[in-house]
């Protein structure tokens, strides 16, 4: 069986030299809105290695969401160089970026962003649909993933029929669908009550223990403290990085 | 990836089911547009065919030639000389123009036609037996038009226009009855089959009586023709035939062949071209009206699709974040526009066909408006043109909103709650 993710598993195991999954150099991001120019990122250098769990913290407006968008290839930097798993991302067109997002990035959003008209199963299948996985394999993998996040009995439910914590677990399953290089989570517990939040947190922790690379943007210090590495951003610059040697 | 269209379809169905009311309204708009364009074009076609039929009523590929007065000096002769065509000119011309059918006409615009105690003032035409074929005088069953023998033997026989026959005889069968025309007895040999006639150079054919020209000339001691009617085999031959006729007559009666007043001509081939252009113009106009109506329907579809895109910007952004390429975003939207248009179009076509069939059931005879308008007719070119217009509108109605959807900035659309 030619699973699109199985080849990457191999690559992960055999990768002897330490190529960082994320390598950013001199990243600047400038937004222009009418006459107002906002410099959200003012020169970011950041390396994230395979299997790392990084929490990005900072006050609102500090540029952490901009950084996450750039890492997730939802946006392109105004200036600077970004390599994802050794490949430069700059210069790709929209479809090229879409392909990277599909195969290399798994997103978990604060407000889940599940498609309301689709069942949990179909939501998890979505990235695989875009990735060209066959219907049978999509279904099988989606079922496995939902079972993995503990929603084996909620597969046919629509998002509206699920609790917040369940929705976020569906979103985590969806993020895992294409076995991405990095899982990016933007305030994943922001819309959840404490107990669902800690469920999701332990799920993410579990993924990390199983070898996933996680970059999580959060206000939540209890979450940030779980991460072995904390990157703190202020005014578009990294002011503190516990992972830097 | 052959499963792609299927999935695109599934995505469409899911979206469409959320918009049921709007979809129904839009489809109705397209249906209305389609019905408009089809009915307008069908009526245009019916009118065109009716006009053609009416034109054919007088005769196909014919021209009428009237003698006049010279307006140019020629070979030492002054202007203002009358040109008078005689009976023998008919054979004179036939000998020189063997490919052209020729008939001469003598007319009495108000002949006294009497049957029993009823006397009417009616137009009388005297002509050759070829007149029937040239001017489409076909006899109703049981009767006949004049023939060569009638002409040769100067028989006193008469062929009646159908309206005239009804006026004189009412419900009595006229064939074989004896009537008097200008106090001379004639036997009715046939009544004209009713025809649609739009052009004429005298009273309509249904009102006149036709007798052999030889009989008439002998009785009334006439030798001059009112006019000549000629018929060519193909429209393309008319110009040449008229040119030749002009030269033959000009040589015989010594006038300048270029003198338009010496003989005047009504060339129905030329005027039917004008008519064709006119009807084409009418059809284009009607088609344009219909297309505009349809276009407005298309704008309705596009409008829905824009609303869909706007409402679903966030979902589109999510799909993009999950790695959907342009085609995944645009495909279902284009398909939605196309499906709405095609469903509306198909419904409109069915309704139009039913309406056209129903209108076809209304009897036209006796109803002047309907007789003039003709019956709406749907034809393949009309249907194909409508289908093409529908397809284009449907594609455009989906394409532009889809393009907007593809331009959604995923980072932007996910930023706001």
Neighbour-count burial of A192, counting CB atoms closer than 10 A to its CB (0-12 exposed, 13-18 middle, 19+ buried)? buried
In angstroms, the CA B238 to CA B242 distance is 6
Alpha carbons within 13 A on the beta-carbon side of B306: 9
Chain A residue numbers with beta carbons less than 8 Å from the beta carbon of B315 are 115-116
Report how far Cα B350 is from the mean position of its chain's Cα atoms: 24
Note whether B262 and B126 are same-domain residues: yes
Give every CB contact of residue B352 below 8 A, 6+ residues apart in sequence: B34, B35, B38, B39, B42, B378
Using the predicted structure, report yes or no on whether residue A2 has a pLDDT greater than 50.
no
CA distance B33 to chain A (A): 32
Give pLDDT, residue B56: 82
Alpha-carbon span A171 to A114, nearest angstrom = 7
Taking alpha carbons only, the member of B315, B404, B410 closest to residue A95 is B410
Residues of B in contact with A103 (CB under 8 A): 323
CB A39 within 8 A of CB A29: yes
Chain B residues whose CB is inside 8 A of the A94 CB are: 325-326, 406
B300 against B69, higher pLDDT = B69
State whether residue A172 is helix, strand or coil: helix
Asked whether residue B244 falls in the same domain as residue B118, the answer is yes
Tell me which chain B residues have a C-beta less than 8 angstroms from the C-beta of A101.
Answer: 320-323
Mean pLDDT of chain B, nearest integer: 89
CA distance readout (Å), B380 to A35, B32, B45, B384: 58, 20, 11, 6
Chain B residues 311-370 with CB within 8 Å of chain A:
314-315, 318-326, 328
Q: Do A101 and B319 touch (CB under 8 A)?
A: no
Q: What total of structural domains would you count in chain B?
A: 2
Residue ranges covered by each domain of chain A: 51-75+93-232
Closest CA to B228 of B261, B255, B267, B258: B267
Alpha carbon distances (Å) from A195 to A149, A201, B99, B116, B403: 15, 10, 105, 115, 43
- The number of beta carbons lying within 10 Å of the beta carbon of residue B3 is 11
How many CB pairs below 8 Å do chains A and B form together? 67
Same domain, B305 and B377: yes
Containing structural domain, residue B295: 4-56+273-415
Whole-number pLDDT of residue A117: 83
Decide: helix, strand or coil at residue B204.
coil
Of the partner residues A69, A111, A126, the one whose CB lies closest to the CB of residue B417: A111
pLDDT at B219 over 60: yes
Distance CA A78, CA A82 (A): 11
Which chain A residue has the Cα nearest residue B417?
A111
- Check if B7 contacts A (Cβ < 8 Å): yes
Distance CA B339, CA B333 (A): 10
For residue A221, the distance in angstroms to the closest alpha carbon of chain B comes to 22
> Domain ends where: B214, B244, B269?
B269
Contact yes or no for A69 and B411 at CB 8 A: yes
Asked if residue B69 and residue B31 are part of one domain, the reply reads no
Per-residue pLDDT of B319-337, as tens digits, reads 999 999 998 888 888 888 8
What is the CB neighbour count within 10 angstroms for residue B250? 19
Which of A117, A131, A178, A190 to probe the B interface (max B CBs under 10 A)? A117
Q: What is the mean pLDDT of residues B358-386?
A: 78
Look at residue B8 and tell me whether its pLDDT is greater than 80. Answer: no
Rounded CA separation B120/B144 (Å)? 23
Quick check: B323 and A127 CB within 8 A? yes
For residue A106, is pLDDT > 50?
A: yes
pLDDT (average), residues A160-184:
94
Confidence tier at B6 by pLDDT (50, 70, 90): low
**Is the Cβ–Cβ distance between B161 and B207 less than 8 Å?**
yes
Judge whether A172 and A204 are in contact, CB under 8 Å.
Answer: yes
**CB contact (8 A) between residue A74 and residue B411:** yes
Q: How far is CA B16 from CA A56, A116, B1, B261, B294, in A?
A: 40, 14, 24, 73, 21
Chain B residues within 8 A of A129 when measuring between CB atoms? 7, 328
User: What average pLDDT does range B112-121 have in this prediction?
Assistant: 92
Contact: B18, A117; criterion CB under 8 Å: yes
Tell me which residue in B14, B323, B406 faces A102 most closely, judged by beta carbons: B323
Q: Which residue of A has its CA nearest to B318?
A: A113
Rg (C-alpha) for chain A, rounded Å, is 18
Rounded mean pLDDT of B296-308? 85
Of B269, B293, B316, which residue constitutes the final position of a domain?
A: B269
Interface of A with B (CB under 8 A): 65, 69, 72, 74-75, 94-95, 98-103, 107, 109, 111, 113, 115-118, 126-127, 129-132, 134-135, 174, 178
pLDDT at position B4 is 63
Residues B208 and B340 in one domain: no
For the cut 90, the answer to whether the pLDDT of residue B99 exceeds it is yes
pLDDT at A47: 93
The CATH code of the domain at A51-75+93-232 is 3.40.50.300
> Same structural domain for residues B125 and B26?
no
Non-local (6+) Cβ contacts of B385 within 8 A are B41, B287
How far apart (Å, rounded) are the C-alpha atoms in residues B221 and B198? 33
Of B321, B324, B325, the CB nearest to A107: B321
Nearest by CB: A126 against B314, B322, B326: B322
Q: Are residues B290 and B411 in the same domain?
A: yes
Query: Which of B269, B290, B314 is at the close of a domain?
Result: B269
> What is the Cα–Cα distance from B335 to B110, expressed in whole angstroms?
71
Give the global pTM: 0.68
Mean pLDDT computed over B179-188? 94
A71-79 mean pLDDT:
92
More confident call, A34 vs A47: A47
Q: How close is the nearest chain A Cα to the Cα of B393, in Å? A: 27
Is A115 close to B319, i.e. CB distance below 8 A? yes
Decide if A109 and B414 are in contact by the 8 Å CB cutoff: yes
Beta strands in chain A (DSSP E): 22-33, 36-48, 53-57, 79-84, 87-88, 105-108, 182-186, 213-217, 229-234, 237-241
**Contact yes or no for B323 and A107 at CB 8 A:** no
> Do B303 and B261 share a structural domain?
no
Helix (H) or strand (E) holding B106: strand B101-115
- Judged by a CB distance cut-off of 8 A, whether residue B13 touches chain A is no
pLDDT category of residue A25 using cuts at 50, 70 and 90 = very high
B138 shares its domain with B283: no
Residues B283, B194 within the same domain: no
Average pLDDT over residues A29-40: 88
One domain for residues B222 and B318: no
Please answer yes or no on whether A75 and B326 come within 8 Å at the CB atom. no
Q: Which of A86-100, B134-148, B273-287 has the highest mean pLDDT?
A: B134-148
Residues B242 and B323 in one domain: no
């Amino acid at each position: 069986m030619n699973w699109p993710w199985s080849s990457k598993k191999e690559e992960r195991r055999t990768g002897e030299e330490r190529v960082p999954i994320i390598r950013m150099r001199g990243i600047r991001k400038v937004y222009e809105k009418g006459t107002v120019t906002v410099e959200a990122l003012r020169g970011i250098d950041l390396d994230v290695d395979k299997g790392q769990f990084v929490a990005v913290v900072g006050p609102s407006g500090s540029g952490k969401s901009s950084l996450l968008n750039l890492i997730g290839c939802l946006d392109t930097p105004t200036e600077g160089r970004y390599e994802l798993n050794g490949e430069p991302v700059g210069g790709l067109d929209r479809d090229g970026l879409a392909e990277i997002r599909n195969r290399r990035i798994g997103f978990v959003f604060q407000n889940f962003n599940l498609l309301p008209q689709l069942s949990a199963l179909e939501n998890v299948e979505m990235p695989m649909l875009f990735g060209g996985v066959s219907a049978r394999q999509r279904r099988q993998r989606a079922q496995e993933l939902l079972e993995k996040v503990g929603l084996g009995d909620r597969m046919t439910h629509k998002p509206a029929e699920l609790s917040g914590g369940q929705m976020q677990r569906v979103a985590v399953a969806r993020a895992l669908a294409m076995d991405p290089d990095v899982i990016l989570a933007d305030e994943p517990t922001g819309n959840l009550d404490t107990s669902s939040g800690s469920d999701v947190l332990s799920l993410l922790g579990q993924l990390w223990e199983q070898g996933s690379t996680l970059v999580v943007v959060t206000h939540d210090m209890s979450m940030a403290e779980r991460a072995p590495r904390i990157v703190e951003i202020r005014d578009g610059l990294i002011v503190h990085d516990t992972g830097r040697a | 990836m052959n499963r792609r269209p299927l999935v695109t379809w599934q995505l469409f169905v899911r979206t469409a089911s959320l918009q049921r009311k709007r979809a129904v309204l839009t489809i109705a708009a397209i249906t209305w547009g389609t019905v408009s364009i089809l009915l307008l074009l069908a009526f245009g076609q019916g009118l065109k065919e009716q006009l053609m039929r009416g034109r054919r009523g007088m005769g196909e590929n014919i021209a009428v030639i009237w003698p006049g007065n010279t307006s140019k000096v020629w070979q030492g002769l002054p202007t203002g000389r009358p040109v008078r065509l005689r009976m023998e000119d008919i054979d004179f011309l036939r000998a020189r123009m063997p490919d052209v059918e020729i008939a001469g006409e003598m007319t009495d615009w108000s002949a006294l036609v009497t049957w029993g105690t009823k006397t009417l003032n009616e137009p009388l035409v005297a002509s050759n037996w070829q007149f029937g074929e040239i001017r489409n005088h076909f006899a109703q069953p049981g009767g006949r038009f004049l023939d060569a023998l009638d002409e040769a033997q100067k028989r006193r026989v008469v062929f009646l226009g159908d309206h005239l026959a009804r006026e004189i005889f009412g419900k009595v069968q006229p064939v074989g009855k004896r009537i008097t025309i200008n106090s001379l007895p004639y036997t009715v040999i046939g009544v004209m089959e009713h025809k649609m006639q739009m052009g004429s150079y005298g009273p309509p054919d249904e009102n006149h009586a036709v007798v052999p020209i030889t009989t008439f000339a002998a009785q009334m001691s006439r030798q001059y023709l009112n006019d000549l009617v000629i018929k060519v085999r193909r429209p393309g031959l008319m110009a040449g035939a008229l040119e030749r006729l002009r030269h033959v007559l000009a040589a015989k009666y010594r006038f300048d062949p270029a003198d338009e007043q010496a003989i005047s001509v009504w060339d129905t081939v030329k005027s039917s071209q004008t008519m064709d252009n006119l009807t084409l113009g009418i059809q284009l106009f009607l088609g344009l009206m219909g297309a505009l109506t349809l276009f407005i329907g298309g704008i309705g579809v596009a409008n829905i699709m824009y609303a869909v895109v706007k409402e679903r910007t966030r979902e589109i952004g999510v799909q993009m974040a999950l790695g959907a390429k342009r085609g995944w975003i645009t495909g279902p939207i284009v398909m939605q526009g196309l499906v709405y248009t095609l469903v509306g179009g198909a419904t409109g076509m069915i309704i139009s066909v039913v309406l056209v069939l129903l209108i076809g059931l209304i009897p036209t005879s006796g109803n002047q408006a309907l007789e003039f308008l003709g019956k709406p007719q749907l034809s393949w070119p009309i249907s194909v043109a409508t289908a093409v217009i529908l397809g284009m509108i449907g594609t455009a109605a989906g394409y532009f909103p889809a393009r907007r959807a593809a331009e959604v900035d995923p980072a932007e659309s996910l930023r706001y709650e």
